[in-house]
Structure 1
Amino acid sequence: MVKRIIERLENPTIEKIGTLYNSLAKEKIAGYGRILKYYYEEQSWLKPKPPTFQDFIEFMQNNPPSTKGF
């Protein structure tokens, strides 16, 4: 499914792929896509300590949701 989503997008990003994976009906970046971008950028699986909830809140404040469609 992910492969097909990537093939159909002109400019696939983690946010877009995650949003459409979560719901194919979405036309704008959703919270799920933003969360995936956060974890992808932070590469938390490579760090000994996972990010805190405050880290996530700060990321969301510094990277507001997109107001544009795909």
Structure 2
Amino acid sequence: MCRTCHGIDGVAWIPIAPHIAGESSVYLQTQLKAFRSGKRQHEIMSVIAKQLSDEDIANLAAWYSSIEFSVEVPE
């Protein structure tokens, strides 16, 4: 379900979704748990996060944080 907006490789397919490849595991887990608890609100992410267990969140965070992501700045 994440790949629909964020892409399987963590590079977002749509402009309103952030890239999450290479993001810190702690950050990703914190944000997903905030969506799940209702502390952070988003019409799509809140619904999706409520379906995730702690193990799911840890696995997703580990996967996306392990992806190397770099941006090249044109000269």
TM-score calculated relative to the size of structure 2: 0.30
More helix as a share of residues:
1
